[in-house]
Amino acid sequence: MLKEKRRPMFNKDFNSILEVAREFATEEKCIEHLEALYWNNKPVSPFHEDSTVYKCKGNKYKCKTSGKYFTVKTGSIFDNTKIELPKWFMAIFLVTNHKKGISSVQLGKDLQISQKSAWFMLMRIRKCFGIENDIDDKFEGICEADESFFGGKNKNRHKDKKVPQSQGRSFKDKTPVIGVLQRGESEIIDGKKIIHSHSKVKCIVGNNTKSETIQPFIKSVVVKDSVLISDEWLGYRGLENHYDHHVVDHGKKQYVNFDNPEIHSNSMEGFWGIIKRGYNGTYNWWSKKHMQNYVDEFVFRFNLRTSQNNERFNSLLLNSQIRTKYKDLMNA
């Protein structure tokens, strides 16, 4: 009697890292899960999608057209890795479920690998988060636009390292991040609040907060004629020609339009608060050349915050067919 093939755990939720470790305890179990996710258990050649594929020993396959051998890891974040897949799976679970992220130092301790290896793992994983920041998925309805700045506080620096005139929107020592949030939709039915969708965000790291930086991003993300709410910054002027643009004047200590309480950017401000707590509490510092990857990480977790642990885990795995080499990270 043939042994029944083990089915991948798509629907089972993982409540802890211990459950992940038990479910994916061996390399073979991880490979089976990846083959089901990537190929639906029907191997596809990464060299020629329409090619006939031959199964070989040791979880290897051969592409008939190219004559090349490959595995399910070929062309993915797991390609050519020296770290076993069970540790990769645990790392992915941790980084997709820790609300404020996890440092490479802590991940190295948790997985008993070096800090350098843990950092490389995390950077490879972060390269797969960008799918949630895809500008092709347009926002509509009520949207909030805002920008924030990341970098050490000038008042906390040593006297000989303070940057003069760096307060407020002067960001000589900081990096601006521009964000747009689409509010979720809900309605009250029979006295109960029914939520149809949750708010989502998209963010980019910018060189400045001028209109030529802010406005093309907003126009690429938000559908024309949608409701757009921002503060009074000059970079948003002119958007009234494309959107139903409302302004909340933060300079006058106005954070909600009292004539219409729906006019505010507090939801976007809340998202910045989540990133800042992760930045200050977990990472302490980001280099500018890698900052977009860190921002994508927080966007991914925010947009999938109402999903189950296994949904975030499998969503990352589905987008993990991106190979990032160490030299590419260093030369970015």
- Cα separations (Å) of 174 from 154, 211, 218? 10, 18, 22
Residue-level pLDDT at 86:
96
**Do 148 and 272 form a contact (C-beta atoms < 8 A)?**
yes
Residue-level pLDDT at 2:
35
121, 122, 124, 125 alpha-carbon torsion, rounded to 10°: 120
Residue-level pLDDT at 134:
67
**Do 201 and 212 form a contact (C-beta atoms < 8 A)?**
no
User: Which of the 8 DSSP states describes residue 280?
Assistant: I
List 222's β-bridge partners, or say none.
139
Residue-level pLDDT at 16:
87
Residue-level pLDDT at 131:
72
Put simply, whether the predicted model's pTM sits higher than 0.85 gets the answer yes
pLDDT (tens, 9 = 90+) of the chain, 332 residues, equals 333 444 455 667 788 899 999 999 999 999 999 999 999 989 999 999 999 999 999 899 999 999 999 999 999 999 999 999 999 999 999 999 998 999 999 999 999 999 999 999 999 999 999 876 665 688 999 999 999 998 766 666 656 656 665 555 556 678 999 999 999 886 666 666 666 578 999 999 999 999 999 999 999 999 999 999 999 899 999 999 999 999 988 776 777 776 777 888 899 999 999 999 999 889 888 888 899 999 999 999 999 999 889 899 999 999 998 888 888 777 76
Tokens for 325? 């080499």
CA–CA separation, 316 vs 329, rounded Å?
Answer: 20
User: How many CA atoms are closer than 13 Å to the CA of 37, on its beta-carbon side?
Assistant: 24
Residue-level pLDDT at 156:
61
**Do 213 and 219 form a contact (C-beta atoms < 8 A)?**
no
Strands of the 142-150 sheet, one edge to the other: 200-205, 175-182, 142-150, 227-230, 244-247
204, 205, 206, 211 alpha-carbon torsion, rounded to 10°: 30
Residue-level pLDDT at 237:
92
Nearest by Cα to 228 from 196, 178, 180 = 180
Helix 104-111 × helix 115-126 angle, to 10°: 110
Residue-level pLDDT at 7:
45
- Phi first, then psi, for residue 121 (nearest 5°) are -60, -50
Give the dihedral sign, CA 129/29/26/70: negative
Residue-level pLDDT at 132:
66
Strands 185-189 and 192-197: antiparallel
Helix extents (H) in the chain: 17-23, 27-39, 85-97, 104-111, 115-126, 211-221, 266-278, 291-303, 309-318, 326-330
What are the domain boundaries of the chain? 17-131+312-330, 136-290
> What one-letter code names the amino acid at 68?
K
